[in-house]
Amino acid sequence: MPLRLSASSSDFEKSFSDYISQGRELGPDVTSVVSEIIEDVRARGDAAVAEYTQKFDRLDVSGGLRIDPELIASASEACDADQIAALEFAATRIRAFHERQFPEGFAYTDAEGVRLGTRWTAVSAAGIYVPGGSTAYPSSVLMNAVPAKVAGVPRVVMVVPTPDGVVNPLVLAAADLSGVSEIYRIGGAQAVGALAYGTETVLPVDKITGPGNAYVAEAKRQVFGAVGIDMIAGPSEILVVADAENDAEWIAADLLSQAEHDAFSQSVLITDSGALADAVADAAERQLATLARSDIARRSWDTHGAIILVANLKDAVPLVDRLAPEHLELAVAAPDALAEKITHAGAIFLGRYTPEAIGDYVAGPNHVLPTARSARFSSGLGVTDFMKRTTMVSCDADSLARIGPAAVTLAGAEGLDAHALSLSVRLDDG
pLDDT score recorded for residue 191: 98
Residue of 338, 279, 276 whose CA lies nearest to 313: 338
Classify residue 218: in a domain, yes or no: yes
Q: Are 144 and 238 in the same domain?
A: no
For 150, other C-beta atoms within 10 Å of its C-beta total 23
In the listed set 201, 229, 257, which residue is the last one of a domain according to the structure?
A: 229
Q: Are 184 and 307 in the same domain?
A: no
What is the count of structural domains for the chain? 3
Angstrom CA distances, 368 to 117, 122, 193, 268, 360, stand at 31, 19, 21, 19, 9
Q: Are 256 and 222 in the same domain?
A: no
Q: Residue 54 contacts by C-beta under 8 Å, 6 or more apart in sequence?
A: 60, 61
Angstrom CA distances, 296 to 15, 259, 265, 328, 368, stand at 25, 7, 9, 21, 21
Residue of 181, 175, 174, 204 whose CA lies nearest to 192: 204
Residue of 374, 168, 405 whose CA lies nearest to 158: 168
Q: Residue 309 contacts by C-beta under 8 Å, 6 or more apart in sequence?
A: 4, 5, 6, 7, 8, 271, 272, 274, 277
Q: Are 90 and 190 in the same domain?
A: yes
Q: Are 154 and 297 in the same domain?
A: no
CATH number at residue 213: 3.40.50.1980
pLDDT score recorded for residue 234: 86
pLDDT score recorded for residue 133: 64
Classify residue 379: in a domain, yes or no: no
164: helix, strand or coil: helix
Q: Are 83 and 211 in the same domain?
A: yes
- Cα 334 vs. chain centroid, distance in angstroms? 29
Beta bridge partners of 330: 241, 350
Helices 188-197 and 46-57, packing angle to 10 deg: 160
Angstrom CA distances, 409 to 116, 403, 412, 413, stand at 22, 11, 5, 6
Classify residue 196: in a domain, yes or no: yes
Which residue in 218, 326, 329, 356 is the catalytic one? 326
Angstrom CA distances, 310 to 1, 5, 278, 281, stand at 19, 9, 14, 16
Report DSSP state, residue 388.
E
Q: What is the dihedral of CA 330, 239, 138, 283, to 10 degrees?
A: -90
Please give the Cα distance from 379 to 376 (Å, whole number). 9
pLDDT score recorded for residue 29: 84
Report DSSP state, residue 200.
S
Q: How far apart are the first and last CA of the chain?
A: 78
Q: Are the C-beta atoms of residues 64 and 158 closer than 8 Å to each other?
A: no
Q: Are 406 and 325 in the same domain?
A: no
Q: Are 51 and 178 in the same domain?
A: yes
pLDDT score recorded for residue 233: 85
pLDDT score recorded for residue 428: 86
Q: Are 18 and 40 in the same domain?
A: no
Q: Are 9 and 36 in the same domain?
A: no
Please give the Cα distance from 275 to 61 (Å, whole number). 57
Residue ranges of the chain with per-residue pLDDT less than 70: 25-27, 133-135, 430
Classify residue 376: in a domain, yes or no: no
Phi/psi region, residue 415 (left: phi>0; alpha: psi -120 to 50; beta: rest), is left
Radius of gyration of the chain (CA): 25
Which residue in 182, 327, 329, 367 is the catalytic one? 327
User: Is 326 a residue of the active site?
Assistant: yes
Where is 349: in which H helix or E strand? strand 347-350
Please give the Cα distance from 139 to 366 (Å, whole number). 10
Q: Residue 18 contacts by C-beta under 8 Å, 6 or more apart in sequence?
A: none
Q: Are 220 and 239 in the same domain?
A: no
Q: Are the C-beta atoms of residues 158 and 184 closer than 8 Å to each other?
A: yes
pLDDT score recorded for residue 27: 62
Helices 31-44 and 188-197, packing angle to 10 deg: 50
pLDDT score recorded for residue 321: 98
For 165, other C-beta atoms within 10 Å of its C-beta total 11
DSSP string across 64-87: -SBPPHHHHHTGGGGS-HHHHHHH
Q: Are 100 and 219 in the same domain?
A: yes
In the listed set 311, 340, 363, which residue is the last one of a domain according to the structure?
A: 363
Classify residue 368: in a domain, yes or no: no
User: Is 344 a residue of the active site?
Assistant: no
Q: In 198-334, where does DSSP find H-type helix?
A: 214-223, 248-259, 274-288, 294-304, 316-323
Classify residue 40: in a domain, yes or no: yes
Please give the Cα distance from 196 to 17 (Å, whole number). 38
pLDDT score recorded for residue 26: 57
Classify residue 418: in a domain, yes or no: yes
Q: Residue 428 contacts by C-beta under 8 Å, 6 or more apart in sequence?
A: none
Domain range spanning residue 423?
395-429
Q: Are the C-beta atoms of residues 232 and 217 closer than 8 Å to each other?
A: yes
pLDDT score recorded for residue 213: 87
Classify residue 177: in a domain, yes or no: yes
Q: Are the C-beta atoms of residues 135 and 163 closer than 8 Å to each other?
A: no
In the listed set 229, 254, 278, which residue is the last one of a domain according to the structure?
A: 229
pLDDT score recorded for residue 430: 58
